[in-house]
Structure 1
Amino acid sequence: MSDGPTDRRPGAGELYGWRGDPAVPAFPDDRPLIVFDGHCAFCSGWVRFILKRDKARRFRFLAAQSPLGEALFRHFRLDPTDYTTSILIDEGRTFLKAEGVIRIGEALGPPWSVLRAGRLLPVAWRDGLYDIVARNRLRLGRRDRCYLTERGDEDRFLA
């Protein structure tokens, strides 16, 4: 099992590395944060899926199109205009692509923790599958504006 990020971009393995980056505004990083494409209908659906199943209200969310989202994308040397990966920040570590999805499933508990079986695949395969979905996600729909929170979930979203 992998304890670190599957992506070896500079800064990805450094615990809380964004805190030392003056280009990244301070944000509460005491709970897991998912940075997602707020204009993507598929990605917004994934957020709704998590919100519905995260009974402990553990996860927070941030649209990649926000100033903080863009700063995090730049910090991890990701293209801040091409959101083909979501970012999971948890306990000072960053997880991209399939590893982030697997860790989210584990945190949601059964039956979603079955996603950990994805670790049986080589990283290149599981990230390759992730990339196929990411490249085609906008075919499922594009939103004109970022995902809007639902009543009662406002505190789970960072601006």
Structure 2
Amino acid sequence: MKDIISIILFDGVCTLCNASIDFILKRDHKNRFLVGALQEPVSKKVLSNFQVDDSYLDSLVLVENGKVYFRSTAALRIAKKLNRPWPLFYFLIAIPAFLRDPVYNWIGKNRYRWFGKKSTCRIPTSEEKQKFLSEENLPF
């Protein structure tokens, strides 16, 4: 799994967030991502390395090359590394985040109401286990 260069942290009880992770995992053919629920201890450990409050649940979080990205910037940087056609959307990065993020925030604010919420965090299948963040595969 040496090709993994980025960590995606997501709200593990959010139905929309879990669907997004399913989408990403199906299109990450080069194994560039590890994923983890923000509620999990190992994810909180990752966040603490970057001075991010460990109770943070407001956005998708991307940790890449020692930097942390949130909201639409994280989503676009993830899309850039997926199989075609998703990297084509990276051109939207040219739009300043202060214009992109209000849409992201609006969806995030309503995600539980529109898509639902699970009572517990997602448990990876045996096939997904190697793609989920753990103490054993923590890259730092």
> What is the DSSP-based 3-state SS (H/G/I as helix, E as strand, rest coil) of the residue aligned with 2:107?
helix
Q: Offset at 1:120?
A: 3.1
Q: Offset at 1:127?
A: 1.1
**Given residue 133 of structure 2, which amino acid in structure 1 is its aligned partner?**
L
Q: Corresponding residue for 1:11?
A: none
Q: Which runs of 5+ in 2 are unaligned?
A: 135-140
1:156 aligns with 2:115: no
1:119 aligns with 2:104: no
> What is the DSSP-based 3-state SS (H/G/I as helix, E as strand, rest coil) of the residue aligned with 2:81?
helix
The whole-number CA distance in structure 2 between the counterparts of 1:33 and 1:157 is 9
Q: Corresponding residue for 1:41?
A: 15
State the Cα deviation string for residues 85-143 of structure 1 (Å, max 9, x = none): 12101121211111110010000032111221222322101111111111111121101
Q: Offset at 1:149?
A: 1.1
Q: Which runs of 5+ in 1 are unaligned?
A: 1-27
Q: Corresponding residue for 1:63?
A: 37
Q: Offset at 1:61?
A: 0.6
Identity %: 28
Q: Offset at 1:151?
A: 2.8
Equivalent of residue 146 in structure 1, options 118, 121, 132: 121
Q: Offset at 1:73?
A: 4.1
> What is the DSSP-based 3-state SS (H/G/I as helix, E as strand, rest coil) of the residue aligned with 1:35?
strand
**How does 1:126-141 map onto structure 2 within 5 Å?**
126-139=100-113, 140-141=115-116
Q: Corresponding residue for 1:6?
A: none
Equivalent of residue 100 in structure 1, options 51, 56, 74: 74
The whole-number CA distance in structure 1 between the counterparts of 2:127 and 2:60 is 24
Number of residue pairs matched by the alignment:
130
